[in-house]
Amino acid sequence: MKKYYLYFSVVLIIVVFGCGYAPAPSVLPENIRKISVRQFIDKTGHSLISRKLTDEVVKEFLQDRRVGVVNHDSADAVLLGEISKYILQPLSFDENYIAQEYKLWVWVNIGLKDAATNKMLWVEKRMTAETEYFVVAWGGGISLTESEAQDIIVKSLAKDIVKRTIDGWFAASGISEKR
């Protein structure tokens, strides 16, 4: 029994003290330490989501802390993006044919351009995020507005964009083209 407790204690100490925080390595070129995030271009007619996405991407980079976020003149690279599709599809209706549930899809095209050489380091087309939501709470559930659904989409896309930028194409969804 003593042997069991000794073994368990050693394993516990290794787990507790061996799990120190170390940021994941970046796959960005060594010269890229500061990024500028340009305002996302809206090709959909839903201009508010463009500002939300830009702000959330900046926030995610600041939280990640592996690269700095600076203005365009001081940047080593520039993140460029456009919102290419915004699809809001009703999924269910009440007895009066009023939509009660929706699915929201947003597609973005993004790329990272080296500021010194003006060459694209990578481009990713059709990175997507989606969510389903009810506009009327059913059975104690939660209802959302379209704006709140956009916030969910924006957070998901921002996380994927930062992962794609820092960790590489394999870290996020979408179709990649390495240039």
How confident is the prediction for the chain on average, in pLDDT?
Answer: 84
| Domains contained in the chain, CATH given | 2-178 (3.30.160.150)
Mean pLDDT over residues 49-53, rounded? 97
User: Would you say residue 20 has pLDDT above 80?
Assistant: no
Q: Where are the beta strands (DSSP E) in the chain?
A: 34-37, 41-42, 68-69, 77-93, 99-114, 120-134, 175-178
Tens of pLDDT along 93-138? 999 999 999 999 999 999 999 999 999 999 999 999 999 999 987 7
How far out from the chain centre does Cα 118 lie? Answer: 24
What mean pLDDT do residues 35-50 have? 95
Res. 49: pLDDT tops 50: yes
- pTM of the model as a whole: 0.78
Phi and psi torsions of 116, nearest 5°: -75, -45
pLDDT for res 175: 45
Q: Determine contact, residues 165/176, Cβ cutoff 8 Å.
A: no
Angle at 132 between CA 125 and CA 60, to 5 degrees: 50
Angle between helices 146-167 and 47-64 (to 10 degrees): 40
Average pLDDT of the segment spanning 44-63:
96
Res 167 pLDDT > 60: yes
Span 48-74, average pLDDT: 96
